[in-house]
Amino acid sequence: MKKVAISIGDLNGIGIQLALENHNTISKNVIPIYCIDKAMLEQAAKKLQLNIPDDFQTIENIAPTFDIEAGVVNKESGAYAYASFVKAVELARNKEVDAICTLPIHKKAWELAGVKYKGHTDALRDFFDAEAIMMLGCSKMYVALFTEHIPLKEVAKSINEKDLTRFLIDFYHTAKPTKQVGVLGLNPHAGDNGVLGDEEIIIQKAIDNANSTLRQAQGTVDNQDRSTVSEPVEAYSNPLVPDIAFTPRVRANYTHYIAMYHDQGLAPLKALYFDEGINVSLNLPILRTSVDHGTAFDVAYKNIKLNNLSYINAIKYIVNN
């Protein structure tokens, strides 16, 4: 079985409850190593009134211990969450584990702790000097984000032919979709041929560049054989009209989408598959998955049974990849 380092997330949130409640389930498919020390684990388990499984592997000297305060944003929990994540990455970098799975952090807690990154993906880009790609979803539908955590007013000026071309090529090589990938336009009606904006011209150029590069990499059909061999399907679609791209009729054609900005892709994804979705970091030398939900401070340590689909799916993705 694969070994998986699990960064424990913000201990003032629900991550540790997910880990404890689902340990027996995930241990049937992977060997989890939890980046939390025994003192913090015992404190959390006592607050949750949960037993600690005998084979729950922990790691000492993660970060300074602190008093868990359910639902509170503070620098102590932020520092511990970041240190847990760094330890998980270290284990993967040193090939002591096969992958990492991250439980939810609170971005403000990271900021209070002096962490310079907005989140896991930003940090991973810096750690590995690689253009990590954020892909979210489940086996029924995945969405990758060209721009991520930036203000909406900055999205249009962030779309350029060079960067989008590289993104599309990298995504195809690392996500390995089995069907054509749907690319969303930016503007209403995908610009209506320039009437409602011209960003789709840039998007189309990047799509053409990526399709050409990927076609060449796969080998072109010999001219002499064109009468007997059908043309290969292009890797990427032309820009799709965003407001119909996720309707059942259109969705039947795609398992993977590229969104130009965060909410364009994640609003429909979460409307359709909120409980099932996961976060995957592509284009890295390590495999990293995560739950696609937050710290849920409103229910932390309240003895409420948690929905575990996202966590279980994040582990399943590791098993299958």
What was the pLDDT predicted at 233?
Answer: 80
Query: Taking the mean position of all CA atoms in its chain, how far away is CA 224?
Result: 44
The answer to whether the beta carbons of residues 118 and 149 sit under 8 Å apart is: yes
How many other CB atoms sit within 10 Å of the CB of residue 209?
A: 18
Strands 99-102 and 2-7: parallel
What's the burial of 157, exposed, middle or buried (CB within 10 Å: 0-12/13-18/19+)?
exposed
Concatenate the DSSP letters of all residues of 173-187 into one string.
HHH--SSPBEEB-SS
pTM: 0.90
The dihedral through the CA atoms of 277, 268, 307, 104 has a sign that is positive
Please check the confidence at residue 112 and state whether its pLDDT lies above 70. yes
What was the pLDDT predicted at 264?
Answer: 97
Q: How far apart are CA 236 and CA 136, in angstroms?
A: 18
Architecture of the domain made up of 141-275: 3-Layer(aba) Sandwich (3.40)
Six-digit token string for 166: 């590289």
| 141-275 and 1-133+281-321 share a CATH fold | yes
What was the pLDDT predicted at 222?
Answer: 41
Please check the confidence at residue 220 and state whether its pLDDT lies above 70. no
Q: How far apart are CA 68 and CA 287, in angstroms?
A: 30
For the chain, percent of residues with pLDDT exceeding 90: 91
What was the pLDDT predicted at 217?
Answer: 84
Q: Which CATH number fits domain 1-133+281-321: 3.40.718.10, 3.40.50.300, 1.10.1660.10, 3.40.50.1000?
A: 3.40.718.10
What are the structural domain ranges in the chain? 1-133+281-321, 141-275
Concatenate the DSSP letters of all residues of 86-110 into one string.
HHHHHHHHTTSSSEEEE----HHHH
Query: Which residue from 182, 292, 21, 157 is spatially nearest to 190, judged by alpha carbons?
Result: 182
What was the pLDDT predicted at 232?
Answer: 61
